[in-house]
Chains A and B, each alone.
Chain A
């Protein structure tokens, strides 16, 4: 669907005022100056939607669900609808050859200009045979479509860091987008699923300024991933006072105390859940009484139990039996060697010299 965004929004009953408010909110969330909201609104309202190709790889469609269905209709959802989304298997009506044709047409018409969104990890095992679309492996597809992209947005923890498919023992050899594509700007929007407004924020930034927002060392937009859940958590004062819930139904839990001892990964998780919340600002995991799982961090699935505090060891006594046996055997072996040496020295009537004592 081409054409200025504001027209489509007006058709759907979104006033200019609502749109301006939305852009101002978006700008402030991204820590941009107030004027940026206006610039953003103007640029976005007038812009013809750039062609977007969305490639789904080893994923569960949770990212798509999060962005399109979680609390429709939101303005994020609608803007997302208005993007010229030329290829998205879950959302598009076309299937089979028609779908493939749409992909190739979009690529040809907008070569070098389209945005590529990827969700899901890419399997490298068995030449990529674990996940194929139309007979083409995800790896080949990513390389081919990635070549003509202006920028790539890796949506979700799988595309950003490998996610659950990459969890130990990683049977499919799953890797992230940035493990494969090295020569394109890549934005990682991790989360399982990621927050919708983060995605629209990045898109708005791209439309307004023609560039990607400032990223951290993990390729994540700093505006949303600059602080930890713990830094922004409304339960943080209880942490500072040392007030912790010890079980999920004790007095501490009922009083809304800190969930650190119940395994909350908030202190090491960079994400915006604590500020943007979920389901249209209704709540978020910690507010609902469950600790953060750390889903937007690399390898969160292998970070030990979700319910063990960060400060206690995962499984420290794993090797003790083997270590004890090896240690005892080594000790006995050395003892036997020492005794043999002593016996030999005794029967040879060896004398002890000063040099021996200095050894």
Chain B
């Protein structure tokens, strides 16, 4: 397989398969999770200010008191790479072109130099949180294969994409093909790993907040 055939495969059949598995998995998991349900709480609801599903959705994005000081790397590193990923994925002009190509939707992008810098900062933050996970005995003990794997499949698209833009190591088309392949891997594993939090995050926060609000507890 030469680089043209490789690129042809990743942007043709490979991408078709990856998008199909991604959609299939996402729908499957969403149906499965949201149909589980829970027994109805028959007690009279209590009303406390600041206790509701919506409150929890926002509150859980902020560190609980004292936690920022106790594990700054997790919080700051986590914020940086999540915001960075969102900027790279949704505000990089070529990615917007791709989305426009697929859906017809479009919005203005950020200057590529800025996205370039964001990618470097994002990768740095991801490396720092990885090192932290390796260095802290408790975190290391709690980590399973899935955690390392999820980190790798998130990191690879950023790395290969940045290297393709910067024309590093391999010819641009080969690097671009590797980038698309890395994204395809991410798409395929996302619905079936902890990365699915991208879809369930706000739902579960709302759910927890709602259950606790019924008991009158603002969490």
Contacts and interface: CB of A to CB of B under 8 A. Distances in A.
Contacts of A303: 4-5, 7-8
B24 A327 contact: yes
Interface stretch (B62-70, B132-140, B170-178, B193-201): B170-178
Contacts of B131: none
A193 B35 CA distance: 61
B32 interface: yes
Interface stretch (B15-23, B51-59, B80-88, B145-153): B15-23
B8 A302 contact: yes
A335 B16 contact: no
Nearest to B94: A311
Contacts of B180: 313
A339 B35 contact: yes
A80 B23 CA distance: 58
A324 interface: yes
Interface stretch (A15-23, A36-44, A264-272): A264-272
Interface string A321-344: 011101110111011001100000
Contact of B97 (A269, A297, A312, A319): A312
Contacts of A332: 31, 35
A269 B2 CA distance: 10
B23 A324 contact: yes
B31 to A, nearest CB: 2
B114 interface: no
A323 B32 CA distance: 16
Nearest to A268: B4
Interface string A60-102: 0000000000000000000000000000000000000000000
Contacts of B97: 312
A314 B7 CA distance: 10
Interface string A277-310: 0000000000000000010011110111000001
Interface string B1-39: 011110110011001110111011111111110011100
A218 interface: yes
Nearest to A218: B2
B32 A298 contact: no
A336 B35 CA distance: 9
B171 A267 contact: yes
B118 to A, nearest CB: 19
B23 A320 contact: yes
A319 B20 CA distance: 6
Given A304-B11, A316-B102, A334 B28 contact: yes
Contacts of B171: 228, 267
Chain B: number of interface residues, binned into ranges: 35 or more
A324 B32 CA distance: 14
Nearest to A320: B23
Which of A268, A269, A304: most chain B Cβ within 10 A? Answer: A268
Which of B20, B32, B94: most chain A Cβ within 10 A? Answer: B20
B101 interface: yes
Contacts of B2: 218, 268, 297-298
B27 A319 contact: no
Interface string A123-153: 0000000000000000000000000000000
B110 interface: no
A357 interface: no
A335 B25 CA distance: 14
A219 to B, nearest CB: 12
A318 B172 CA distance: 27
Contacts of A322: 20
A334 B20 contact: no
Which of A267, A294, A300, A324: most chain B Cβ within 10 A? Answer: A267
B89 interface: no
Contacts of A35: none
Contact of B31 (A304, A323, A328): A328
A173 B135 CA distance: 58
A310 B7 CA distance: 8
A354 interface: no
Contact of A312 (B11, B24, B35): B11
A317 interface: yes
A7 B3 CA distance: 46
Interface string B169-190: 0011100100010000000000
Contacts of A228: 171
A311 B176 contact: yes
Nearest to B27: A327
Contacts of A269: 4
A323 B24 CA distance: 5
6 contacts: A265-B4, A268-B4, A297-B4, A314-B8, A330-B27, A334-B28
Interface of B: 2-5, 7-8, 11-12, 15-17, 19-21, 23-32, 35-37, 94, 97-98, 101-102, 171-173, 176, 180
Interface of A: 218, 228, 265, 267-269, 294, 297-300, 302-304, 310-320, 322-324, 326-328, 330-332, 334-335, 338-339
Given A268-B2, A298-B5, 6 more contacts: A294-B4, A303-B4, A312-B101, A327-B25, A331-B32, A332-B35
